[in-house]
Amino acid sequence: MRKLQIPIVLDSLHNEMISVEFFEEHLGIREIHELRANNENKKRFLCFHCKSPVLLYARRSDSHESGHKYHVQHQAGKECLWKRDSKTLGEIYAGIKEGKRHREMKKLLQETLEVIDGWEVIDVDRRFIASLDNLERRKPDLHAKFKGQDVVFEIQIRSEDPTVIVKRKAFYKKQGMKLVWLSSESSELVSETYKTNALEMKQVQKDIAFANRGNIFFFNGRLSKISKTYNVLKLMAKYIDSTIIDGLIKCRWNDKIISFEDVNFKDGAAFYYDFISADDGNRQELELQGKRFVAENISSWQCRTWEDFLVNVKKGWPFVEITRNSEWLYQVYKEDYNDRVLRLKKTIIKILLDKKNDIRRWNRCARQLGNNDFGISPNVQLNVIASLLVISGYPVMKNTGPVRAAHNFYDHPSFHSYFNLFLLILNNSPYKEMIINDDTMSDRLRKDFSHIEQKTDFHEFMSWFLSEPKL
């Protein structure tokens, strides 16, 4: 198995770590392509080791349902100990020269449009189209007019970076032109077998499709003949259909021969079937069901980490969009987590106030929590903890105030090994001035117990108890 360059990423939006296996497994195909096309999200996920932004890459894999395996890598030139030993990472899309097949495709499209009513070929791969400010320019494979409206065709034969596809789409949108990507694949690819095997879909074709609301169009010699016969430009539309089946959204590729008039244009995208709108509607329906599932079950999950929470969410909300629902999910997770933490802190105060059964109840609580991150261990000196909490402002000892609690660290030898912790707590205590200015403490503050070996077993507990969320 190929070694992962980055096994864990940091989601900087929530400052939570996510394993790469989880990252690929739980992000849906649509979210993955949105991440690949969206530059902003390239800054969201960081290498957990060096904290530098990572990029989402694709690698062909027939063993994966989507046809590609996704992983994250460092940006070019970034040094990190987690990098693979290989000297070059390679490119996702290797650019190749336009060859004979590309030229034949442009010629075929030109000859077809020239004999169909309503079309006028303006240029074939010679003239640049410039923006109004002349700061940008593009040279389309074929520029034509259909009933007076500018239409540009780009022939997909070489691989394209997804950001190039997005930028070209934005450019022609600004110019008020309709952009249509045409695949130059042969007729064999747009066949019945293709319907049942999306693995044959090239990654670049998927990127084009997701930039065009789930659609990509094919044109070949067979479609040229049909176009000439019916005096209408005919294309093969390959589109993703979104359907809810057994509580899951199933995305399947369909194809249909359509006329150019059937192509819709919106925000620079060209599409026959609006997969995004259909998918959004399905996702909204499942989102309502998913949020209801989370609200009804979160209290029983007792999740200690963000990743554990997401795993439980997926059990009843398999198609959850982590990116889209990130803010809501994280808010629900933190509210539940904080609520449980506050309840635990209140329980600890009740235990400390129960002098007769405090150690028994404390030990039971420690066993129930198991290996925890709160520093709650069995069989500890509860009187030391209670005194530290009183000094910190929590009334967990009856008839004992902050000053009396401070005296304990001078009066009792068993407290001396926690003297450094006492000084740390005192320095941050809301009663600091009261304690150090008390007449009974003036002489005692000069005492030094540094010669006694200091213990640190309560540091973790005190740090946790005094941290957010606070009582």
List, for residues 164-183, the tens digit of each pLDDT value: 788 888 899 999 999 998 98
Q: Is the pLDDT of residue 68 over 90?
A: no
**Tokens representing residue 124 in the block:** 């074939």
**Tokens representing residue 71 in the block:** 């992983």
Nearest to 422 by CA among 439, 399, 447, 396: 447
pLDDT of residue 24: 60
Collect all residues with Cβ–Cβ distance below 8 Å to 163 and sequence separation of at least 6: 37, 39
Mean pLDDT of the chain: 83
The predicted-structure confidence for 126-179, as pLDDT tens digits, reads as follows 888 887 777 788 888 899 999 999 999 988 766 666 777 888 888 999 999 999
pLDDT of residue 26: 57
The dihedrals phi and psi of 149, each to the nearest 5 degrees, come to -100, 130
Residue 194 pLDDT grade (very low, low, confident, very high; cuts 50, 70, 90):
very low
**Tokens representing residue 291 in the block:** 């949020």
Q: Is the pLDDT of residue 41 over 60?
A: no
Q: Is the pLDDT of residue 86 over 60?
A: no
Q: Which helix (H) or strand (E) covers residue 29, if one does?
A: helix 29-37
- Integer angstrom CA distances of residue 254 from 194, 237, 241, 320: 9, 8, 7, 24
- Which amino acid would we find at residue 48? F
- Integer angstrom CA distances of residue 109 from 112, 226, 234, 287, 427: 5, 13, 11, 44, 80
Q: Is the pLDDT of residue 16 over 50?
A: yes
Give me the mean pLDDT over the 269-273 stretch. Answer: 93
The predicted-structure confidence for 89-116, as pLDDT tens digits, reads as follows 233 223 333 456 778 899 999 999 999 9
In percent, the amount of the chain with pLDDT more than 90 equals: 45
Q: Is the pLDDT of residue 255 over 50?
A: yes
Instruction: With beta carbons less than 8 A apart as the criterion, state whether 380 and 362 touch.
Output: yes
pLDDT of residue 228: 96
CA distance 437 to 422: 17
The predicted-structure confidence for 295-335, as pLDDT tens digits, reads as follows 999 999 989 889 999 999 999 888 787 788 889 999 999 99
Give me the mean pLDDT over the 354-383 stretch. Answer: 85
Instruction: With beta carbons less than 8 A apart as the criterion, state whether 165 and 208 touch.
Output: yes
pLDDT of residue 100: 67
- List, edge to edge, every strand of the sheet that includes 45-47: 16-19, 8-11, 45-47
Q: Is the pLDDT of residue 59 over 50?
A: yes
Among 127-141, 242-256, 404-418, which stretch is predicted with the lowest mean pLDDT?
127-141
pTM of the model: 0.55
Give me the mean pLDDT over the 352-361 stretch. Answer: 84
Higher pLDDT, 131 or 1: 131
Give me the mean pLDDT over the 20-49 stretch. Answer: 68
Give me the mean pLDDT over the 186-198 stretch. Answer: 38
Residue 288 pLDDT grade (very low, low, confident, very high; cuts 50, 70, 90):
very high
pLDDT of residue 178: 94
Q: Is the pLDDT of residue 54 over 80?
A: yes
Q: Is the pLDDT of residue 235 over 50?
A: yes
**Tokens representing residue 163 in the block:** 């950001």
Residue 427 pLDDT grade (very low, low, confident, very high; cuts 50, 70, 90):
very high
Higher pLDDT, 252 or 57: 252
Instruction: With beta carbons less than 8 A apart as the criterion, state whether 390 and 400 touch.
Output: yes
Candidate ranges 14-23, 134-143, 420-429, 446-455; pick with highest mean pLDDT: 420-429
Collect all residues with Cβ–Cβ distance below 8 Å to 187 and sequence separation of at least 6: 220, 221, 222
Q: Is the pLDDT of residue 411 over 50?
A: yes
